[in-house]
Amino acid sequence: MLEIKELTARSDDGNDILKGINLTVRPGEVHAIMGPNGSGKSTLSSVIAGNPKFIKTGGTLRFNGEEIDELSPEERAHRGIFLSFQYPVEIPGVSVNNFIKTAINEKRRSMGLEDMPAGELLRMIKEKAALVELDPRFLSRSLNEGFSGGEKKRAEIFQMAALAPSLAILDETDSGLDIDALRIVANGVNKLKSPENATIVITHYQRLLDYIVPDYVHVLYKGRIIKTGGRELALELEEKGYDWLIKDYQ
Amino acid sequence: MSKDHIQDTLDSASDYKYGFHSDIESETFPVGLNEDIVRAISAKKEEPEWMTEYRLKAYRHWCTLEEPSWAHLKYERPDFNGISYYSAPVRTPKHASLDEVDPELLRTFDRLGIPLEEQKVLSGVAMDVVMDSVSVKTTFEDTLKKLGIIFMPISRAIKEHPDLVRKYLGTVVPHTDNFYAALNSAVFSDGSFCYIPKGVRCPMELSTYFRINQGGTGQFERTLLVADEDSYVSYLEGCTAPMRDENQLHAAVVELIALDGAEIKYSTVQNWYPGDKNGVGGIYNFVTKRGICHTRSKISWTQVETGSAVTWKYPSCILKGDNSIGEFYSLAMTNNYQQADTGTKMIHLGRNTRSTIVSKGISAGYSQNAYRGQVKMSRGAVGARNFTQCDSLLMSDHCGAHTFPVISSDCPTAIVEHEATTSKISEDQIFYCNQRGLTTEKAVALIVNGFSREVLAKLPMEFAVEAQKLLEISLEGSVG
Amino acid sequence: MQNSKYIKINEDLTTIKVEHDSRTTLRNTGQAESYLLLCSGSHSLCLTVEKGADVTLIEASDATPDFCYEIHLESGASLRHVRIDLTDKKTRYTLHQEKDSRYEMSLISLCGNQENLFTMHSEGEGTDTRMCGFTYGQAAYKVKNTIRLHHHKPHATSYQAFKYVADDKSRLSFDGKIIVELNAQKIEAYQKNNNILISEEAHIASDPQLEIYADDVRCSHGSTIGQLDADALFYMQSRGISYKSACGMLIRSFADEPLSIIKEDWLREQIEDIIASMLK
C-alpha cells in the first residue's frame, strides 16, 4: 500500500531532516515507528500527509502504486490517508459534527458521489462515536476548543472511524494521556483495524504498543531508519533505552 | 504557501449580483441643495407646515456644520452640490394592488429575489419596499392594521398619524446630533414608520428593502420605530444598489423607541455596492442609528455588513430606564478597497442596565476595518454590566484591522469587561482541514463561518440564510 | 498638593545628575548596574544604553514637573526602568529599541497629578517590551497615561499591564494604542488595563486601541472596570481577616506585577509601606 524508497526531505527553513527512508507497509499491517525526540518521526508523517511546511527533496513516495508527490493534502486524504495529529488545532465556532459532515461529503464528491443523506449521516456519526467511546456531547462542541489532551486524541480517533481511511498514521497519539485514556484510544484503533487497512503508529514510548500490537517496529534516528524488528524490539528499547542502538550512529 | 492559497481563493472574480440597473422612468431633481430644494421636496410629498419647518431648521443647522473627519477612513469627500436629493419612480402605486406597479419595477424586485405577491412573501414577512427614496409597496398592511399596528412609509405616516410622528421624530437622533443627521433631517424622502401598540406582539417580521437605482442621487431614508409598553417587534432591513463608477451617498437615520417593557429586534443585512476590485465606485454608507430603552425594555441590533465602499455607522443604545438591556451583534466583512469604521455606543444611565457587544470583523484585500465603540457607565448606573468581545480576522497581508474602544465609568458598582483579539487563519488550521479532505477554499469558508457563528445565530431565520450566502459570495472574491 | 511621601535613596547607587538638558551613555562591564536619575532644573535628557549592556535606571525622587526624555537601546541592550511618581508630573517619554534589546518598565504612581505620554518604537527584530503600571488615585488627583507602542519590525513581543485604583475624587485615564506596521509579521502584543472604582465620585476612562496592518500577528487587549472582588473579600473575611485588611490586600495585589520588577529591596519595601499607609 505505502512504498517509500530513499525518501529525503527538509523543513521550509532549510534543515535536512529525513535522510533516506525506506519503508513498505502492506494492507493489514501495523508498523510502529519509534526513536528519540528530534529524529524526524513527525516529519515523516507530515511528508506522507503532504504538509507544505516540509519539502521532499528526493526518493519516491508511492501510495497504492501511485506517486503522490504532486497531490495536495486533501487529494491524499480522499485517496485514503489519515493523519491523527500530535497537536490537533482548534477551530472555534465549527462543531465536531459540522466538521466531520463536511469532510465526509467532500470525500464523496471527489468520488463523484452525492452527499450522504442527513438521516444516514446522523446515524453513522452516532454509531462511530459509540464505537470509539466518544461522549456524544462532544459532537456539538467547537472542534477541539477547550478539549483536554485525551479528549482531543479521542476526537481524532472518532474522525478516523467516520472517514474509514486505508492508511492511518497516528502521530504520538499517546503523548499526554493517562493509562485509562490510552486504553480507550487504543481500543478504538483496534476496533477499526481490518485486513484491508494499515496503521503506522508513531511513538516515543513502548506502552501504547502493549495495546496496539505492531507487526513491525522501526527505529528512526537522525532521519534514517537504523533498525527494524518485530514486537520484541519495542520491549528491548523499553528496557534498555535508545543509547545502545544509537551510539553507533552518533 | 497556504497564504497564497487563501489569496487566490478570495481573488477569483466575484460578481456583485445586484449590480444591474433598471430602466424605470424617474423624476429626479436638479443637483444641489438649498432652501428651495428643501421646500420642493416637502411640497412633492404634500407635507404639513410643521414638517417643512422641521426640514428647514435642520437644513439651516447643517449649513453651519463641517463634515466630520475623525474616523479611520480615507475617502473623497462627497460633492454635496453635485448630487440630486430627490428621485422617485414616476408610476408609483399608492395601494396594495400589484397591477398599478411599473412592471419593470416588479422585474427588478424579482431579480433581487424579492417576491412581492402576498403569498410568496418569505414565510409571511410584511415588507415595505423603498426604491430610490420612495416607498413603493407595503405588504400585509391590512392584517397588521387589525392588531392596531401601524407599518407604512413615513411619508404617509406624517399625513395620517401626525401626532405620533411629531411626538417621536427627532427625539432619539435630533437634527443637531451630527453632520449627516442634520442633512438627513433636511432632505429625507422616505423610510418606514412603525408603531406597535401596548401589549401587542407583532406576529410577523417587518421588513424594509432599500434599493438605490438612479445614478447621481443620494438616498436619505428615515426610519422611526416605536414599540409601546410591553410590545414586541422584529424588524429586518436589507439593502442593495447597482454598480456604478461614481460613489453614491446613503445617509440614513434610524430611531428606535422602546417604552417600558417593550422589545425591539432590529436586524440588518447590508450589501450595498462595495466598489470594484480597484476601489472605484461604491456606496458611502453614513448612518446614524440609535435606540432609547425605557424601564425593563430591550433593544438588539444585529448586523451583517458586507457592502458599501465606505461605512460609518454606530447603532447605539441609550439605556435610560432601569433594568433595560442593549445588545449589539455585528459581523463586518471588508475586501478589496472597502473601508469600515463601525461599532456601537452603549450609554448606561439607569440602574442594573445590561449591555452585550459581540463584534466580529473580517478584513481581506486592501481593506481597512475598524471597530469603534463607546461604553459609558454614568454615575446613576448602579449595578450595571457590560460585556464586550471584539475579534478581528485578517485574511491578507495588505489589510488592516483596528479596534478603538472608549470606556469610561463614574459608578463603582458598574462592571465593564472588554476583550479584543486580532489574528489570522493559521496555516496549521488550513493543513488540518486539508488532511481531512477539505480543499483550502472549503477550509477557509468553514473557518470563517465558525468565526462568524455567534453573530449569525442572532439573525432571524430567513435573514440568516441570506447572510450566510452573502458571506460565501463575499469570500469568493475576497482572497487576494 | 501635599507631598508627604518620599523615598529615601540608597547612597550606594551611581547617580546621574541632570542639571541641564543633556545626553548620557550608560554602559557596563560584566554585571548589571543600577543608576539613579536625579533631575533638577532641567527639561530634557537623552540616554543611550550601549550595545549588550544590562542596566537598571531608577527614578524615585522629586523631578521637575515638566520633563521630556528619550532613551535609545542599542542592539542586545537591556534596560530595567523603575519609575516611582510621588509628585505632579508632566512627561513625554520616547523609547527606541534596536534589535534584540529588552525593555522592562515598572511605573508606580502614588501621588500627584500625572500626565504622561509614552511612545515606544520597536525598530529591530527580536525586541521585547514590557510595561507594568500601578496607579493609586486619591484626593482629587488626575492621572492620564497615553501609550503608543509601535511595532516596526517583525518577530517582536510586547506586553502592557496597567492597573488603576481610583478613590476619593480622583480621575484616572488610560489611552493605550498598539500599532503594528505592515511587514511587522510574527508580532505578539498584549495589553491589559484593569480598573477598580472605590468611591462614587471617582472616574475611570479606558481607551485600549489596536491598529494592525500586518496579518501574521497575535494581538489582544482587555479592559475591565469594576469593584473589588466581593467573593475574594468574603473569603478572606471568613478566614478571620477584617474587611478593611482584605480590601487593602486586594488593592495591594494590584501592584504585584510592577512591584515584582523591582529587585531592590530597600526601594520595594518603602513603596509597599507607602501603599499600606494610603489604604484607609
Question: What is the per-residue pLDDT across A181-227, written as a single tens digit (0 to 9) for each?
Answer: 888 888 888 888 889 999 999 987 788 888 888 999 999 888 888 88
Asked if the C-beta of B394 comes within 8 angstroms of chain C's C-beta atoms, the answer is: yes
Nearest to C136 by CA among C32, C278, C12: C278
Task: Give the pLDDT confidence score for residue A124 in this predicted structure.
Answer: 92
Share of chain A above pLDDT 90, in %: 20
What does DSSP say about strands B253-258 and B222-227: parallel, antiparallel, or unpaired?
parallel
| pLDDT bucket at C145, cuts 50 / 70 / 90 | very high
Nearest to C210 among B414, B415, B422 (CB): B422
Q: Looking at the predicted structure, is the pLDDT value of residue B381 above 90?
A: yes
Where does residue C105 rank: exposed (0-12), middle (13-18), buried (19+ CB within 10 A)?
buried
Tens of pLDDT along B389-420? 999 998 887 888 889 999 999 999 999 999 99
On the question of pLDDT at B11 being above 50, the answer is no
Cβ pair C220:B404 closer than 8 A? no
> What confidence tens digit (pLDDT) does each residue in B48-68 have?
999 999 999 999 998 888 887
Q: Which residues in chain B are closer than 8 Å to C228, comparing Cβ atoms?
A: none
Which chain B residue lies closest to C186 (C-alpha atoms)? B423
Q: Are C10 and C38 in contact (CB under 8 A)?
A: no
> Three cell numbers at A7?
525518501
- Domain spans, chain B: 2-478
Residue C257 half-sphere exposure toward CB, CA atoms < 13 A: 19
Q: Let me know if B279 is exposed, middle or buried by CB neighbors in 10 A (0-12, 13-18, 19+).
A: middle
Judged by CB atoms closer than 8 Å, whether chains meet at B446 and A51 is answered as no
Residues B136/B104, Cβ–Cβ less than 8 Å: no
pLDDT value, residue B15 = 46
Per-residue confidence band for A1, with pLDDT thresholds at 50, 70 and 90: confident
Average pLDDT over residues C95-106: 94
For residue C64, give the C-alpha cell: 521637575
pLDDT digits (tens, 9 = 90+) for C148-163: 999 999 999 999 999 9
CA distances from A200 to A194, A197, A217, B314, C83 (A): 13, 10, 10, 55, 59
Q: Are strands B206-211 and B247-250 parallel, antiparallel or unpaired?
A: unpaired
pLDDT of residue A209: 87
Looking at residues B93-102, what average pLDDT do you find? 48
Let me know how many helices (H) and strands (E) chain B has, helices first.
Answer: 11, 23
- Rg, Å, chain C Cα set: 19
Mutate to test the interface with C, among B334, B366, B390, B407 (most CBs of C within 10 A): B407
C-beta atoms of A83 and B435 within 8 A: yes
Q: What is the DSSP letter of C194?
A: E
Q: Which of A101, A106, A152 to mutate to test the interface with B (most CBs of B within 10 A)?
A: A106
Q: Which of B6-15, B416-425, C60-69, C256-265 has the lowest mean pLDDT?
A: B6-15
B387 touching chain C per CB within 8 A: no
Neighbours of B, requiring at least 3 CB pairs below 8 Å, are A, C
pLDDT computed for residue B350 by the predictor: 95
Question: And the C-alpha cell for B304?
Answer: 451583517
Name the most confidently modeled range: A180-184, B33-37, B205-209, C123-127.
C123-127
Residues of B in contact with A160 (CB under 8 A): none
CA angle C30–C35–C37, rounded 5-degree value: 160
Alpha helical stretches, state H, chain C:
230-238, 243-254, 256-261, 265-278
Closest by CA to B469, choosing from B479, C222, B452, B102, is B452
Chain A CB contacts of B1 under 8 Å are 52
Q: In chain B, which residues have their Cβ closer than 8 Å to the Cβ of A74?
A: 433-440
Nearest residue on chain B to C192, alpha-carbon basis: B419
Chain B residues touching A43 at Cβ < 8 A: none
Question: What pLDDT score was predicted for residue B340?
Answer: 85
By residue count, chain B amounts to 480
Q: Which has the higher per-residue pLDDT, B116 or B151? A: B151
- CA closest to B410 among chain C residues: C203
Task: Give the pLDDT of residue B218.
Answer: 67
Alpha helices in chain A (DSSP H): 41-49, 73-78, 96-110, 118-131, 149-163, 179-192, 208-211, 231-240, 243-246
Identity at C279, one-letter amino acid code: L
pLDDT band at B18 (very low <50, low <70, confident <90, very high): low
Least confident of A39-48, B108-117, B166-175, C9-18: B108-117
Q: What is the pLDDT of residue B67?
A: 80
pLDDT above 70: residue B246: no
Res. B8: pLDDT tops 70:
no
pLDDT above 90 (res A36): no
> Looking at chain C, which residue has its C-alpha nearest residue B368?
C213
3-state secondary structure of B228: coil
The answer to whether C75 and C100 are in contact (CB under 8 A) is yes
Residue C167: all three cell numbers together: 478613590
* Range with the poorest average pLDDT among B435-449, C34-48, C74-88: C34-48
Which segment of A174-183, B189-198, C30-39 scores lowest on mean pLDDT?
C30-39
Q: Distance between CA B294 and CA B149 in Å, rounded?
A: 20
DSSP label at residue B58: H
- Decide: C and A in contact? Rule: 3+ Cβ pairs under 8 Å: no
Does A177 or B214 have the greater pLDDT score? Answer: A177
Element (H, E) at C212: strand C203-212
Q: State which of B20-29, B98-107, B310-319, C6-15 shows the largest mean pLDDT.
A: B310-319
Of C173 and B206, the structure prediction assigns the larger pLDDT to C173
CA B106, B108, B112, B113 dihedral sign is positive
User: What does the domain layout of chain C look like in residue ranges?
Assistant: 14-228
> What residues of chain B lie within 8 A of the CB of A50, using their CB?
434-435
Burial C54-91 (b: 16+ CB within 10 A, else e): bbbbbbbbebbeebbbbbbbbbbbbbbbbbbbbbbbeb
Chosen for mutation from C158, C201, C212, C217 (greatest number of chain B CBs closer than 10 Å) is C212
Helix A179-192 / helix A149-163 crossing angle, nearest 10 deg: 10
Q: In chain B, which residues have their Cβ closer than 8 Å to the Cβ of C195? A: 409
DSSP 3-state assignment of B445? helix
> Which chain C residues are within 8 Å of B398, Cβ to Cβ?
182
Q: Which range (A37-41, B458-462, C36-40) has the least confidence?
A: C36-40
Residues 6 or more apart whose Cβ sits within 8 Å of residue B81: B31, B32, B33
| Residue recorded with cell 501621588 | C111
Which pLDDT band holds residue B4 (cuts at 50, 70, 90)? very low
The 10 Å CB-count burial string (b at 16+, else e) for B87-123 is bbbeebeeeeeeeebbeebbebbeebebebeeeebbe
* Separation of alpha carbons B283 and C48, rounded Å: 51
Q: Considering only A161-165, B137-141, B319-323, C223-227, which range has the smallest mean pLDDT?
A: B137-141
| Rounded alpha-carbon distances, angstroms, from residue B299 to A130, B49, B55, B255, B317 | 44, 33, 28, 11, 7
- Residue carrying the nine cell digits 432652501: B35
Supply the DSSP string of C215-227, one letter for each residue. Answer: SS-EEEEEEEEE-
pLDDT at C154: 93
Condensed to tens digits (0 to 9), the pLDDT of residues A109-160 reads: 888 888 888 889 989 999 999 988 888 888 988 888 888 888 888 899 999 9
Q: What percent of chain A has pLDDT over 70?
A: 100
Cell of A170: 497516528
Using CA atoms, how far apart are residues B69 and C99, in angstroms rounded to an integer?
37
- Residues of chain B in contact with residue A83, where contact means CB-CB under 8 angstroms, are 435
Q: Output the pLDDT for position B6.
A: 47
pLDDT score recorded for residue A168: 92
The CA dihedral of B37, B38, B40, B41, to the nearest 10 degrees, is 120
Q: Report chain A's C-alpha Rg in angstroms.
A: 18
Q: pLDDT band for B122, please (50, 70, 90 cuts).
A: very low
**What does the mean pLDDT of chain B come to?**
79
Structure-model confidence comparison of residues B207 and C107, the more confident one: C107
Distance between B59 CA and the closest CA of chain C, angstroms: 34
Contact A176, A205 (CB under 8 A): no
Cβ of A88 and B432 within 8 Å?
A: yes
- B9 pLDDT above the threshold of 50: no
**Domains of chain A, start order:** 2-249 (3.40.50.300)
CB half-sphere exposure, B355, CA atoms < 13 A: 39
Residues B425-451 have a mean pLDDT of 89
Helix axes A149-163, A118-131, angle to 10 degrees: 130
User: C-alpha dihedral over B89, B192, B29, B78, to 10 degrees?
Assistant: -120
Chains C and B touch (3+ CB pairs under 8 A): yes
Residue B37: predicted pLDDT: 84
**Interval C183-222: pLDDT, tens:** 899 999 999 999 999 998 999 999 999 999 888 888 989 9
CB B154 within 8 A of CB B193: yes
Give the pLDDT of residue A210: 85
Q: Interface partners of A (3+ CB pairs, < 8 Å)?
A: B
The mean per-residue pLDDT over the stretch B473-479 comes to: 59
